[in-house]
A and B are shown apart, each in its own frame.
Chain A
Amino acid sequence: MRAMNLSYTSNEQVEVYRFSWPVSVGLPLLLVGLQAFLPVRLHFFRVFDFGLLLTIFFAVSRRSQVSGLLTGAVIGLLQDCLTHTPFGVFGIAKTLVGYGASSIGIRIDVENPGSRFLLAFFFYGIHQAVFVAIERELMGQSIHLNLGHEAGAAVANSLMAVFLFAALNRLKIRD
């Protein structure tokens, strides 16, 4: 079994990818739309945050902090549109995730399943922490995290990330 190589050496070149416009625009719309529709029939899909996974995927593939944070902001605001909470709650959380993921993507190898799992797990935690902080401090809501539920959701999203990223790899265009 090949040992997991998480960081780049000086000899390795960081690969930067881009995506076509239809993919950049259509994919977030498709996945966020699916996420809103699927739980009507398949209740367990409510656990997944496709917007978050897509933000991480675009951020680590493009490896540009500006691009990552803007992608996160747009996807987050798109999700905000479907809720009854004010605009910006998911936007802020995903902006930070996009910026963080692209920063990490520059430094470590995010192409193998193990690192993708860990990356998704880590950023799911960050996302939820930022979300709760906004809800509590800015919106004055008394929200308490159910750690067991959140841990389960983080694992589920991380597993989904492994398969989803593998599928989305086909849409990458090498820069």
Chain B
Amino acid sequence: MNLFSRHKNTVILAAVLLAQFLALAVQVKRQTAEGPVRVIRLIAVTTLAPFERMMIYTGEGVRGIWTNYIYLRGVRSENDRLKDDAERMKLDRLREQEDARQARRLQALLQFKERWIDATVAAQVVGTSGTESSRLIYLDKGTADGIKPDMPVITPDGVVGKVLAVFGDHSSQVLMINDPTSGVGATLVTSRLQGIVKGTPTGEVQLNYIMGDENVLPGESLVTSGGDRVFPKGLPIATVTKVSMGRNLFLDIRLKPAVDLNRLEEVLVITSQKAREPDTAGLGPIRASDILAQHLPGVPQAPTTGPVQSPAGAAPASTAVAQPSHASTVPVQSVAQKPASPKTAPTADVAKPGTAEAGKPKVAAAPKPKAERVAPQ
């Protein structure tokens, strides 16, 4: 009692801090290999684990002495059998990987849908989080206006963020793209590389997960890729301002947001998006063998001597499907939907006789991951 009264203030400080630490640990989930785990559980497990490990190791040690030194009958034959199993499993795994890749491509072709903005609600920015660590804004629209969590928030200039929570009829909270916990699927307009736009603790915006050997130049624009299932495809996000080599083999790409996130007064909340099937009228039937053929190396086509074909947009897309060696870097729907883009018009490149590109095997010229990148989600 005497000790408590002597250190009363310190004890109260410790109690208040402990209460908040516990409250925090109950709320926070730490990402682990097996999924998110509450920190309180992590702490408890981390504290108890050494004792449990000690018990287990002791038991295993005793068992190990028996099984590894005393009881070794039949180990050699069992080892041979297990080696055979492992070899068979390796082959199974390779076959399943190939099946999975093919399935993904077929799924992408058959179920691809693009989403388009159908309805928006204009909202006034009425507040912020008041701290630099949390890039939030509050809007004067809520459930009464049809606002729901995860709805995209934009301005005519580009992407602002997404609705994080809705508080009642006339209030909602928006997480902006410059918050470190945000993430927007993005495509670089020129190079068609895809990455994730995230905020930094200082309120800047950066593009993540672009490999260090890719060529990204300042000034290049970014648009939404649609892959995050929140933002419709093609909305302006930002412009590249600085590119340098970052850590873990990825580029450190700094961006200037298309929207001035510090001076927002009115925004638009996208309350409805409609899925639209791609126009596949001119594509003809898509066969699994066509898709599978994309995996195989193609024979370089000899330069054509005939008349130059019409631009990529006018070229029949079935050509791209029928010539898998050329189409391997671009899925069919890209050819059909983005006729003006030179990156998505392989048929035009192929058709130009006399150029350096003509006759070059496209499979070797373009890295295979690009085919994955442009594949729709």
Contacts and interface: CB of A to CB of B under 8 A. Distances in A.
A59 interface: no
Contact of A36 (B21, B27, B128, B133): B128
B202 interface: yes
Contact of A143 (B31, B131, B180): B180
Given A40-B126, A144-B201, A84 B136 contact: yes
A95 B17 contact: yes
Nearest to B125: A40
B39 interface: yes
Interface in A43-93: 43, 46-47, 49-51, 65-66, 69-70, 73, 77, 79, 82-92
Contacts of B165: 84
Chain A: number of interface residues, binned into ranges? 35 or more
A90 B201 CA distance: 15
B31 A140 contact: yes
A147 B219 CA distance: 28
A134 interface: yes
Nearest to B127: A36
Chain B: number of interface residues, binned into ranges? 35 or more
B127 A37 contact: yes
A141 B24 CA distance: 14
Given A40-B126, A95-B13, A143-B180, A87 B133 contact: no
A109 to B, nearest CB: 21
A96 interface: yes
Interface in B316-333: none
Main secondary structure on A side of the interface with B: helix
Given A40-B265, A65-B9, A149-B202, A95 B128 contact: no
B130 A39 contact: yes
Contacts of B127: 36-37, 40, 82
Contacts of B9: 65-66, 69, 99
Contacts of B126: 37, 40
Contact of B24 (A32, A50, A83, A88): A88
A138 interface: yes
Contacts of A40: 125-128, 137, 264-265
Main secondary structure on B side of the interface with A: mixed
B352 to A, nearest CB: 47
A51 B130 CA distance: 10
Contacts of A83: 129, 131, 133-134, 136
A84 B181 contact: yes
Given A36-B127, A82-B129, A88-B27, A43 B263 contact: yes
Interface string B138-179: 100000000000000000000000001100000001010001
Interface centre among B20, B175, B180 (most CB of A within 10 A): B20
Interface of A: 32, 35-37, 39-40, 43, 46-47, 49-51, 65-66, 69-70, 73, 77, 79, 82-92, 95-96, 99, 131, 134-135, 138-141, 143-146, 149, 153
* The 8 A-B residue pairs with the shortest CB-CB distance in the complex, in nearest-first order: A88-B24, A83-B134, A86-B27, A36-B130, A35-B130, A65-B9, A88-B20, A43-B262
Given A82-B127, A84-B179, A92-B24, 13 more contacts: A37-B126, A40-B128, A49-B131, A51-B130, A69-B16, A83-B133, A84-B175, A85-B134, A96-B13, A131-B133, A140-B28, A140-B30, A143-B201
